[in-house]
Amino acid sequence: MGSFRAHLRAGAGAHLALVSGTVLLALPHAPVEAVVAAVVGAPVTVAGAVVPDVDHPNSRPYRVARVWVPRLTAGAVGFAGAASRESVVGLFRRGPVPDPAPFWAGVAVTAATATAFVATARAVPLVRPTHRGVTHHPAFGVAAGLALTALTLTLLRAAGVEHLRLVSLVVGLCFLCGFGSHLFVDDIWQVPSR
């Protein structure tokens, strides 16, 4: 089992390998946004390298998750609600709510954001699995990478970014690359030797 620093080093090395491959293979053909996403995706790769240890109650990733997952979840809900404000206001113009509809739409987005924060803050300690359980399985890494890709796609669509599918895919691959490095450091995946 690797230490936190060993996982950070492995994640950084995995990211350098990913960026080298991206720059060498995709640079002449890929949009600039995808290459930039691969280069600046280092935090995502490093996060993927330490996320599997979120299942240990004394680990840094778990302590960080208890603080930041509720905040980031609430922020994503608030951002998505604010980005789709016209749709939210439209819901309140049709319903039995007195005017001004934008005020009530703001109240609804604020309530949804606060609810997301409180629910996530209470859920994080409850859903922590046993150590070296599901969070150290390759299927978890793939599922988390796909979820991160979907979240990135949603946020980039709301922000109006071009090439959002490709950039979202690169972000998910950065996470998966870091996750794989964690499994190698923990000797869960082993390189065959002859």
Show pLDDT as tens, one digit a residue, over the chain (194 residues): 678 899 999 999 999 888 887 777 766 776 777 777 777 788 999 999 999 988 888 889 899 989 999 999 999 899 888 888 788 887 777 656 556 778 878 888 899 999 999 999 999 888 888 878 888 889 999 999 999 999 888 888 888 877 788 888 888 999 999 999 999 998 876 555 55
Q: 50 and 93 share a domain?
A: no
Same domain, 40 and 24: yes
Question: Which of 76, 96, 127 is where one domain is finished?
Answer: 127
Tell me if 22 sits within 8 A of 156, measured CB to CB. Answer: no
Q: Are residues 13 and 50 in the same domain?
A: yes
CA separation for the pair 8, 27 (Å, rounded)? 27
User: Do 33 and 70 reside in the same domain of the chain?
Assistant: no
Three-state secondary structure call for residue 43: helix
Q: Where are the alpha helices (DSSP H) in 28-131?
A: 32-40, 42-50, 60-83, 85-94, 101-126
Residues 69 and 121 in one domain: yes
Q: Are 29 and 69 within one domain? A: no
Q: For residue 181, give its domain range.
A: 1-57+132-194
| The domain boundary residue, chosen from 103, 127, 151 | 127
Which one-letter DSSP state was computed for residue 134?
G
Helix (H, G, I), strand (E, B) or coil at 127: coil
Q: What is the pTM for the complete model shown?
A: 0.72
**CA-wise closest residue to 78 among 114, 103, 102:** 114
Same domain, 148 and 118: no
Pair (50, 141) in one structural domain: yes
Quick one: 168 and 85 in the same domain?
no
Measured distance CA(53)–CA(126) in Å, rounded: 16
Same domain for 71 and 104? yes
123 and 169 share a domain? no
Residues 115 and 19 in one domain: no
Residue 44, helix vs strand vs coil = helix
Number of domains into which the chain is organized: 2
Of the residues 86, 107, 127, which one is the last residue of a structural domain?
127
